[in-house]
Amino acid sequence: MARGPGLSVAIAEKTFPSGSVPLFSGLRLDIAPGSTVAVLGPSGVGKSTLLRLVAGIDTDFSGRIVVDGRDAALAPAPGFVFQDPRLLPWLTVGGNLRLADPALGVEATDRLLASVGLAGRQDDFPHRLSGGMQRRAALARALAANPRLLLLDEPFVSLDPALVREMHQLLLGLLDTGGPTALIVSHAAEDAARLADRAVLLAGRPARVVADIPLERPRRSRSEAEIAVYRLELEALAAKTG
């Protein structure tokens, strides 16, 4: 699989009709091909909006966002993982994946589902899957849409700690083997400490980058103690700048 694209974000201004203060003003963010960047910040700071801008879904801003040399709105749609699975209940799991990629055949669907631990489940309807399985299916759908660029919007919110750890391990494997570019927004420093190569903290209104921290120890090599150090460092920065 080809390594993921580079991203260049230059938002001169992003406002909403109901707001007098811009959400973003002069925001710059460059993301290297094949890297995983976690964007952290409090609720309302604009993390989810940033993902929609990068995805080309929201084009109502001044500035330019470039994905692999193309304007975001003209680039291939990313694989998007939302806060909830959003599986269409009247389609099978396989049908949900083929909605993202109509050219996906039965064998390719099986392989994709196997990669997220759902081998043999493509003919099941979403209601037959546990909550954790639905999250896995949503991740498979994102990979079907675009395995090179993944945008994840609070993908572990509302999950119990054991399931969060399970999803961390699953995503780690996919990031390491597939080499996508991934942008993860989260309120949890733990997500960044376990998954990211780099953590970007947003704060304020207009939102600004208040910290940009490289997490240099390779993800797979991080001990629990090192993960705890990263987490505490990020939480301290968030508390100081929030």
Q: What is the pLDDT of residue 242?
A: 64
* Residues 6+ positions from 152 with CB-CB distance below 8 Å: 80, 81, 142, 182, 183, 184, 185
Q: What is the pLDDT of residue 2?
A: 64
Please check whether residues 42 and 136 belong to one and the same domain: no
Q: What is the pLDDT of residue 160?
A: 87
Q: What is the pLDDT of residue 206?
A: 94
Please check whether residues 63 and 93 belong to one and the same domain: no
Question: Mean pLDDT in runs of 10 for the chain (242 residues)?
Answer: 87 87 95 96 93 94 95 94 92 96 94 93 94 92 95 89 90 90 94 96 94 92 94 91 71
Q: What is the pLDDT of residue 37?
A: 97
Please check whether residues 118 and 211 belong to one and the same domain: no
Please check whether residues 126 and 41 belong to one and the same domain: no
Q: What is the pLDDT of residue 202?
A: 95
Residue 219: domain span: 7-78+149-241
* Residues 6+ positions from 185 with CB-CB distance below 8 Å: 38, 39, 40, 41, 47, 48, 50, 51, 152, 153, 154
Q: Pick from 69, 38, 23, 22: which is nearest to 183 by CA? A: 38
Q: What is the pLDDT of residue 20?
A: 78
Asked whether residue 1 is domain-assigned, the answer is: no
Please check whether residues 195 and 172 belong to one and the same domain: yes
